[in-house]
Amino acid sequence: MTDLPLDVGWLTANGAACALIAARSAGVCFTAPVLAAPGVDWRFRIVLALLLGAWMAPLAAPLVGTPSSPYGLGWLAINEGLVGALIGMAASLVVAGAKQAGDIVAAQAGLSTASLFDPESGEELTALGHLYGLIAIAAFLAVDGPLRMTEALLQSFETVPAGRLVFERSTVQAMFAQAAEALQLAVRAAAPPAVALATAGVALGWLGRLAPSVPLMALSLPIRAALGVLLVMAGLVALTACLEAAWMDWARAGF
């Protein structure tokens, strides 16, 4: 009971810093994988942001300055929310790259017409793209992604102190580098089945020219679709390893 007045006094003295820490946590909670899903209620995200802010406050408060006015506090809170959103979006690019890989494989297998509506992005998404995205989220959870996200959020206060987000050349280059890594992941994850399906399409075309009486062109679509499903099933282990490596690279890169 004797420690309670000290804690209340510390919170009173560092209330503005705690608010800025919670604002950066809220940016992560609204954009990070799993948490950014439409099924997650916004009230849960806010409560989680407050809990993260309370947990990080004793560690990050010395790195956060005190604004001179309430207007300054509001501007800094918006700034911190933007920083947190960039951290969450950097992780979400891995999931986006995995979904793009699934779309590439679906296009090669002739399954792109069987598309689904994705409420998260508001766009049409193929079944394989949705599957690859779910596998990316599962890999994120398998490598302790939420804990690594929390560590990245805590370390970001050293990399980008509160109120000091400046879109300099290095910042813009880092953002484009994250996007380039996502595109590279999409190509790397889609390459094995996509190349095999492209080769199968060329082989079917040559067989159709050599044996015109065989209706291979009419059967090419179901053959490529069945081959695509088999290749995806056979490459699930390699795909999971590729996505886990992508998450580990993201965690080592930091913010």
Distance CA 111, CA 97 (A): 18
Say how many domains are in the chain. 1
β-strands 123-126, 115-118 pairing: antiparallel
pLDDT tens profile 128-137: 888 898 999 9
| CB atoms inside a 10 Å sphere around CB 137 | 18
Task: Identify the pLDDT of residue 118.
Answer: 62
The residues, any chain, with a CB within 8 Å of residue 243's CB and separated by 6 or more, are: 94, 98, 135, 136, 139, 185, 189
Closest CA to 139 of 36, 5, 236: 236
Contact 231, 193 (CB under 8 A): yes
Encode pLDDT of 136-174 as tens digits.
999 999 988 888 888 888 888 887 777 666 666 777 777
pLDDT digits (tens, 9 = 90+) for 212-252: 665 666 667 777 888 888 888 888 889 999 999 999 888 77
Structure token pair of residue 114: 């069987």
Residue 181 clears pLDDT 80, i.e. is over it: yes
Task: Please state the rounded mean pLDDT for residues 86-112.
Answer: 87
Per-residue pLDDT tens digits for 185-215: 999 999 888 888 888 877 777 776 766 665 6
Q: Evaluate whether 197 touches 105 at the Cβ level (below 8 Å).
A: yes
Cβ atoms of 88 and 140 within 8 Å: the answer is no
Indicate whether this model's pTM tops 0.85. Answer: no
Owning domain of residue 233: 4-253
Reference 32, options 107, 98, 84, 103; nearest CA is: 84
